[in-house]
Amino acid sequence: MGTDSGVGKSTVCLGILAQLLADGYLPQQLAYIKPMTQCVEQQAVARFCTEQAIECIDIGNLVFKKGYTRDFIAGLTPSSTELLATVLQSIVTLGVDKAVVLIDGIGSPAVGSVVGVANIDIAALLPCRIIFVGKAGIGAAIDDTVLNVSFIQRKHQHNVGLIYNKILVSELADTRHYVSKRIVQLLPNTTPLGFIASHNGLPASSTAIAAWFSRYVNVIDWFNAFSQTD
């Protein structure tokens, strides 16, 4: 999940997949799904999955086309219970025989609330870990994280991983220092995983993407730590 659409969640998903491959996971052990979406154009993460033979569903069962909210409120769509069950089933089915399933949210944790299928509603019903992708800055990034992660933690008590994206290179060191120090004071049950500098496109190969992503983010140690205790 993230602070908003466009914060770079799909890029983070791509980086995590590349990091998992570099760490020794086989493509057939991994899967990626975006169960809810507004965008039906293929994203870079979907192309990466195709290239690497990772099973992928980039356009899920629930597509928020124009007018969908009105139709839902008017009773012209399946109910919240039916929609949530369909989304969960798609994730569970994809996850058969997989070591890791990466679920890409849509916008903030509350997106989908109007139809009863918010990002956090899905996560709360799954044995999953949440990574929240925050925006650049210091004060604004911290305030926004507190707002969104507090909402997440109402329904999901596990440790939440934090990644901040699209940070100016000149501000990277200060942002990492001050945000890391203050956010764990305000939100003790969180772990800052990394801070990603602004970039113009990703490297071409999976190995190069993993190397680039690992310069900024360490998801593997966090993931393995909880895998061993669960």
Residue 47: its pLDDT value, please? 93
Interval 27-44: pLDDT, tens: 999 999 999 887 777 788
Backbone angles phi, psi at 131, to 5 degrees: -115, 125
On the question of pLDDT at 152 being above 80, the answer is yes
The pLDDT of 207-225, averaged and rounded, is 90
Provide the number of structural domains found in the chain: 1
| Mean pLDDT confidence for 201-214 | 92
The span from the CA of 160 to the CA of 135, in Å, is 16
- CA 111/CA 33 separation, integer angstroms: 17
Determine what percent of the chain is predicted with pLDDT higher than 90: 73
* Separation between Cα atoms, residue 226 and residue 35, nearest integer Å: 24
Could you tell me if residue 183 is inside a domain? yes
pLDDT at 99 over 80: yes
pLDDT mean over 82-88 = 94
Q: Is the pLDDT of residue 192 over 70?
A: yes
Higher pLDDT residue, 82 or 39?
A: 82
The arithmetic mean of pLDDT across residues 87-111, rounded, is: 93
> Could you give the CA distance from residue 159 to residue 222 in angstroms, rounded to a whole number?
10
* Alpha-carbon dihedral sign for residues 6, 8, 13, 15: positive
- For 201, other C-beta atoms within 10 Å of its C-beta total 6
Least confidently predicted of 67-71, 126-130, 223-227? 223-227
Assigned domain for 2 exists: no
Token pair in block for residue 152 = 């997440």
pLDDT band, very low/low/confident/very high, at 134 (cuts 50, 70, 90): very high
The predicted-structure confidence for 56-78, as pLDDT tens digits, reads as follows 998 888 888 889 999 999 999 99
**CA triplet 212, 136, 187: central angle to 5 degrees?**
100
Domain annotation covers residue 122:
yes
Rounded CA-CA distance 53/110 in Å is 32
Give me the CATH number covering residue 153.
3.40.50.300
Q: Is 112 helix (H, G, I), strand (E, B) or coil?
A: coil
Taking the C-alpha atoms of residue 230 and residue 227, their distance in angstroms, rounded to an integer, is: 5
Model confidence at 230, in pLDDT bands (50, 70, 90)? low
Query: Would 4 be classed as within a structural domain?
Result: no
Would residue 113 count as lying in a domain? yes
**Structural domain that includes position 87:** 9-220
Confidence of residue 221 (pLDDT cuts 50, 70, 90): confident
Does position 50 have pLDDT exceeding 80, yes or no? yes
Note the pLDDT of residue 116. Answer: 92
**Confidence at 86, pLDDT banded by 50, 70, 90:** very high
214 burial (CB, 10 Å; 0-12 / 13-18 / 19+) is middle
Q: Does 175 reside within a domain?
A: yes
Planar angle of CA 91, 92, 93, nearest 5 degrees: 90
Query: Does 38 fall in a domain?
Result: yes
pLDDT at residue 229 is higher than 70 = no
In a domain, 164, yes or no: yes
Residue type, 87: V
